[in-house]
Amino acid sequence: MKIIAMTNKKGGVGKTTTALATAAYLGQSGFSVLAIDMDPQANFTQASGADMNVAGTFDFLNGTPIEKCLQKLPKYTMLASGPRMTRAEKEFDQIGRERLLKSALARVKDYDYVILDTAPSVLVLTQNALCAADAVVICCQADSFSLLGLDDMMHNIDLVQEYYNPKLLVAGILQTRYNAQTKISEQATALFQDKAKEFGTNVFSTVIRENVAIKEAQMRQTDIFTYSPTCHASEDYAAFTKELFAIVEGGKKKWPKNSPKQNSEETPRISIPRSPRKRTTRRR
């Protein structure tokens, strides 16, 4: 079982969209997936069409057996967030509070992948996600503003590696909402690559294009592959999930043969060359 967190201190950079698409694509490709909404804003829960007012993530972290907290959705099983999650910061005040998720998940064995969506903060819920994760994806909107705060985010990841989770792999920086028509997206790619090098990680060679179908799917509370299997965002998220899979599995597992095919479209999918990996994680 591999645990993967989508993160960034900034909001609106595609964390939830990426968590949802990754969970859905892994699920429809035959993997068993547990999706955990770690954000009190509960956007992942809402966009999945799950119920926010029943037992979910908060109760699971608080010691309720997982069977009582799960919601079964067509492509993945979910631990939902909701209004009660806002109490987490106050109520989880005991020593070791950063490790609640890690210890609760230690008893869970039934899934191939656990996908964590995190809040735009590095407070206790995000710390729990980073302590429990095997790998972290840093989602960044493809504009230069996304670089602000990246140093701080990486510093926090460093601290988590140092004190709690030395095996945490920084899988890479994912560029979301890429618009080939704007110069800024192109320029940002070069800046992200520089930053990634500095941090000892990579920029994913797949970029996620800006696509209105993402918003439409979220409004209909469905995943992008169900809503529009051939749109640009579906193509990009399928390619990203496979790239992530290869990184997280270290090339030891093959992607299932019978997984759904993406239709090829006239416009080629945008991908940028990956620079060779030097280190998997940044150490000070």
Residue 175 as a binder of Mg ion (CB under 5 A): the answer is no
The single residue listed with the structure tokens 């998997």 is 280
Q: Which does 218 bind (CB under 5 to 8 A by kind): Mg ion, ligand ADP, none?
A: ligand ADP
Q: Name which position in 214, 231, 239, 248 contacts ligand ADP (CB under 6 A).
A: 214
Residue 15 as a binder of Mg ion (CB under 5 A): the answer is yes
Rounded to whole angstroms, how far apart are CA atoms 165 and 161? Answer: 5
Residue 222 as a binder of ligand ADP (CB under 6 A): the answer is no
Provide the minimum distance between the beta carbon of 88 and Mg ion in the complex, in angstroms, as a whole number. 16
Nearer to ligand ADP, 31 or 240 (CB): 240
Stretch near Mg ion under the rule CB under 5 A, chosen from 38-46, 68-76, 85-93, 226-234: 38-46
Q: Cα dist. 263→17, 225, 231, 238, 266 in Å?
A: 21, 12, 9, 11, 10
Q: Which does 27 bind (CB under 5 to 8 A by kind): ligand ADP, Mg ion, none?
A: none
Residue 112 as a binder of ligand ADP (CB under 6 A): the answer is no
Rounded to whole angstroms, how far apart are CA atoms 226 and 21? Answer: 10
Q: Name which position in 176, 202, 228, 234 contacts ligand ADP (CB under 6 A).
A: 176
The single residue listed with the structure tokens 């985010």 is 153
Q: Name which position in 7, 18, 22, 43 contacts Mg ion (CB under 5 A).
A: 43
Stretch near Mg ion under the rule CB under 5 A, chosen from 13-21, 74-82, 211-219, 236-244: 13-21
Rounded to whole angstroms, how far apart are CA atoms 88 and 97? Answer: 10
Residue 127 as a binder of Mg ion (CB under 5 A): the answer is no
Nearer to Mg ion, 7 or 43 (CB): 43
Q: Which does 233 bind (CB under 5 to 8 A by kind): Mg ion, ligand ADP, none?
A: ligand ADP
**Structural contact between residues 144 and 187, judged by C-beta atoms closer than 8 angstroms:** yes
For residue 92, what are the contacts with CB-CB under 8 A and spacing of at least 6? Answer: 61, 100, 124
Q: Name which position in 5, 9, 14, 98 contacts ligand ADP (CB under 6 A).
A: 14
Residue 16 as a binder of Mg ion (CB under 5 A): the answer is yes
Residue 11 as a binder of ligand ADP (CB under 6 A): the answer is yes
- Going by C-alpha positions, the residue among 45, 92, 88 that lies closest to residue 70 is 45
Nearer to ligand ADP, 15 or 55 (CB): 15
Provide the minimum distance between the beta carbon of 81 and Mg ion in the complex, in angstroms, as a whole number. 10
- Which spans of this chain sit near ligand ADP (rule: CB under 6 A)? 11-17, 43, 120, 139, 176-177, 208, 210-211, 214-215, 218, 233
- Which spans of this chain sit near Mg ion (rule: CB under 5 A)? 15-16, 43
